[in-house]
Amino acid sequence: MQRTLFIIKPDAIRKKLSSSILKDVRDSGLNILTQKKIKLSQEDLESLYAEHKGKPFYEKLVGYMGSGAVICAVIEGVDAVDRMRDLMGDTYPSKASPQSIRGKYRGESDTGPSGAIENLVHGSDSPERAKVEIDLMFGKEWSV
């Protein structure tokens, strides 16, 4: 069993897609252990995206992620990180599989060196990063 952090981004919240996206996660066979709707603080955003600091898209990403509420969730299952990444689809919505979240619901932004920023969802890219991100958003008791 593995855990990963999943975030429904502000564009998906504004489009009222969160219920459909969470249903897609549940339907995939993964478990949503906990979730919360919050507005991320500047400190949280800087910690969450610290690995991107200094990159050309960093300021835009942090500004966008702080522009509204998000839903953060801890997802658990066998190979949860890879399964969530498959479920989310390609970072560029125009390249995402039509069955994926980004392909099905279409994120707005498809430009920039980081891929898309307004692409509906975020998921940890490795088990190690998942632990860091879950610790940051929920505390160490959830990142076991």
| CA 90/CA 109 separation, integer angstroms | 12
With residues binned 3-state (H G I as helix, E B as strand, rest as coil), the percentages for the chain, rounded to 5, are 45, 20, 35
Q: Which amino acid is residue 126, in one-letter code?
A: S
Q: Which amino acid is residue 131, in one-letter code?
A: K
Question: Taking a C-beta distance cutoff of 8 angstroms, is the pair 119, 107 a contact?
Answer: yes
Which member of 12, 122, 123, 137 is catalytic?
A: 122
Q: What is the pLDDT averaged over residues 74-82?
A: 97
User: Which CATH number does the domain housing residue 17 bear?
Assistant: 3.30.70.141
Convert the pLDDT of each residue in 96-140 to its tens digit.
899 999 999 976 655 554 457 888 999 999 999 999 999 999 999
Known catalytic membership, residue 122: yes
Domain span including residue 112: 2-142
Hey, is 33 helix, strand or coil?
strand
Which pLDDT belongs to residue 35? 97
> What's the pTM value of the predicted model, to 2 decimals?
0.92
Structural domains in the chain (count): 1
Convert the pLDDT of each residue in 13-64 to its tens digit.
999 999 999 999 999 999 999 999 999 999 999 999 998 899 888 898 999 9
